[in-house]
Amino acid sequence: MEHDKLMERYNDDIIRLRREFHRHPELSFEETETTRRIASVLDEWGIPYQINEEKHTGLVARISGAHPGKAVALRADIDALPVTEKTGLPFASEVPGRMHACGHDNHIAMLLGAARMLLDIRDQIYGDVYLVFQPAEEAGKGAVYMKKFGDWFAKIGAIFGAHIWSSVPAGTVAIRTGPFMAAADKFTIRIHGVQSHGSQPWSGVDAIVVGSAIVTNLQSIVSRQLYAIDPVVVTVGKFQGGDRWNIVSGEAVLEGTTRYFRREIGPELKERMERIVEETAKAYGATAELDYQFLILPTINDDACTAIARQAVTEVLGPDAIQESDLVMGGEDFAFYQEDKPGCFIFVGTHNPDCNATYPNHSNYFTSDESVLAGGARVYAQMAIDWLKQNS
């Protein structure tokens, strides 16, 4: 089969590129060397591109097909995390405290592999394929940054993305129509009590006690105030208060996140949280305020684009490779592309105990089964080809 030949032809190159990018991770909006290296590969292959000069990171390349038609985009994120790698791999990160712990090195390599494959089968392309190498996904700001760069986004009719996922078996691809990944918002709660001696708590207002009550009361939003079939999470991940073991704290700060799949839930959550925060503090004689930040939209896969993704996976890897994904509470800024254009986001499975690819994304032991990368690249390419053919 043509698919097998292409995957075999470029398998070693894709793995080599993945390892090279893995050695040299860069954090969000610092991926200047990563961008230059991507550009050098594209130069070798004669693929035109433009680097986003606003921060000198991120680029958009274009492959024009042999036939006229519309335009579609494929996206890969390129940033790493502030994680100290402990995999012991021979190609482990060479940058202290930095690691590609979420698989973005794999994404770069897969999209470059897809570009090389598309060059070989340019006669099957009806229109243009834009290749978007996006920075700062981990910061949740890279998609918006790239959307306003140049005119590529205005020209495309759809966009596809893929992510290596540690809980999905290697050799399979997880797909879901409609809501897929959650919105990811952040909140900060500042509590103002009255400091006093630890032996005389009645002479003060304990901000830690108030904060503890707020943490408990916030959980009633999910359990008692929202429609039961709406998956929602309210998590307080940070609680700071107090100056000394024998002093009643006068100040406390809580930080956390909310997750949900319907956009309308976000404003409702903010309103309910404000009421609980203010009224709980008032009941204890304190004051408190909520700072709620809407950060990342829910990832919602377009029906038609998802059907194309299923078709591409079936054609390249076979019908048994498709897994129906559950809802995922993690957030993904690919959603900002889908805000204005139809698109589909998929998970390329990498879980394989035989090569120690069992640790979750963001773990300092995270690694992937590299044997899946050529297949992921081929699926990338096929999604673009199939969308252009169906919309020519």
Q: Are 125 and 388 in contact (CB under 8 A)?
A: yes
16-19: which pairs have CB atoms within 8 A and are 24 or more residues apart? Answer: 17/41, 17/108, 17/109, 17/112, 17/113, 18/105, 18/106, 18/108, 18/109, 18/370, 18/373, 19/91, 19/105
Give first-to-last CA distance, the chain, whole Å. Answer: 25
CATH class of the region 183-296: alpha beta
Q: In the predicted model, what is the mean pLDDT of residues 12-38?
A: 98
pLDDT value of residue 4: 84
Of the pLDDT bands very low, low, confident and very high (cuts 50, 70, 90), residue 3 is low
Helices 2-23, 373-390: crossing angle, 10 deg rounding: 120
User: Does 392 score more than 90 pLDDT?
Assistant: no
Domain ranges within the chain, ordered by starting residue: 2-180+298-390, 183-296
Average per-residue pLDDT for the chain: 97
Q: In the predicted model, what is the mean pLDDT of residues 250-267?
A: 97
Q: How far apart are CA 6 and CA 199, in angstroms?
A: 74
Give per-residue pLDDT as tens, 38-77: 999 999 999 999 999 999 999 999 999 999 999 999 999 9
Please give the CATH superfamily to which domain 2-180+298-390 belongs: Zn peptidases (3.40.630.10)
Give per-residue pLDDT as tens, 297-343: 999 999 999 999 999 999 999 999 999 999 999 999 999 999 999 99
Q: Which of 315, 309, 311 lies closest to 3, judged by CA?
A: 315
Q: CB neighbours of 234 closer than 8 A, spacing ≥ 6?
A: 218, 219, 221, 222, 256, 258, 269, 273
Structure tokens at 34: 């990563």
Of the pLDDT bands very low, low, confident and very high (cuts 50, 70, 90), residue 218 is very high
Residue 181's DSSP bridge partners are 299, 328
Structure tokens at 3: 């698919």
Give per-residue pLDDT as tens, 222-244: 999 999 999 999 999 999 999 99
Give per-residue pLDDT as tens, 132-157: 999 999 999 999 999 999 999 999 99
Burial per residue of 254-272, b for 16 or more beta-carbon CB atoms within 10 angstroms, e otherwise? bebbbbbbeeebbebbbeb
Q: Cα-atom radius of gyration of the chain, to the nearest Å?
A: 24
120: left (phi over 0), alpha (psi -120 to 50) or beta: alpha
Q: How far apart are CA 186 and CA 255, in angstroms?
A: 7
Q: In the predicted model, what is the mean pLDDT of residues 100-127?
A: 97
